[in-house]
Amino acid sequence: MKAQDIEDLRQLVEFLQQHHVAEFDIDRGDLKLRLKFNPAASGPASLNDLTQLLKSVPPVVAEAAAASTSAAAAPAASAPEAGVEAGLHLLKSPIVGTFYGSPSPGAAAFVSPGDSVDKGQVMCIVEAMKLMNEIEAEVAGEVVRCLVANGQAIEFGQPLFAIKPRG
């Protein structure tokens, strides 16, 4: 396991704890990762804690977990802080549900990083209780990054996109 993979996992744990996520599950093929947090825990997991945890996981699963989380977790973990510092607007979810970046499976995404968007333009869909809710851009600008993965369960107020406003 590479040092960067361990760092990506550490960032994922810190991000989940920062946003008070009690439980996180991912199941993609042979990759199965479940994180549960004790609300009474004293602080974020240290690098040594993660190293010990990863040593107990079979190598194939650990490598798949690191590869999967490095692609999705690193941007998600750093984007909220970067968005505030860089003057980016964070489009946040108005509801709890499941994030979908395209109107149907196999269809092109509503928006991608680098796309120009107008206020009121549909950015994604959040499914809640079998209802598909279109989430619209609150500002006009350029999509800098998508902060969540397609099919990911999201919370109320969770940042979905970082947008550089036109101005």
Q: Is the pLDDT of residue 55 over 90?
A: no
Domain ranges of the chain: 3-85, 89-165
Q: Is 29 exposed, middle or buried (0-12, 13-18, 19+ CB in 10 A)?
A: exposed
Q: Is the pLDDT of residue 163 over 90?
A: yes
- Pick 89-165's CATH classification: 2.60.120.590, 3.90.550.10, 2.40.30.10, 2.40.50.100: 2.40.50.100
* Helix H or strand E segment including 147: none
Q: What is the pLDDT of residue 24?
A: 75
SS in 3 state form for 68-126? HHHHHHHHHHHHHHHHHHCCCEEEECCCCEEEECCCCCCCCCCCCCCCEECCCCEEEEE
For range 9-32, the mean pLDDT = 71
This prediction has a pTM of 0.51
| 100-126 tens-digit pLDDT | 999 988 899 999 999 999 999 999 999
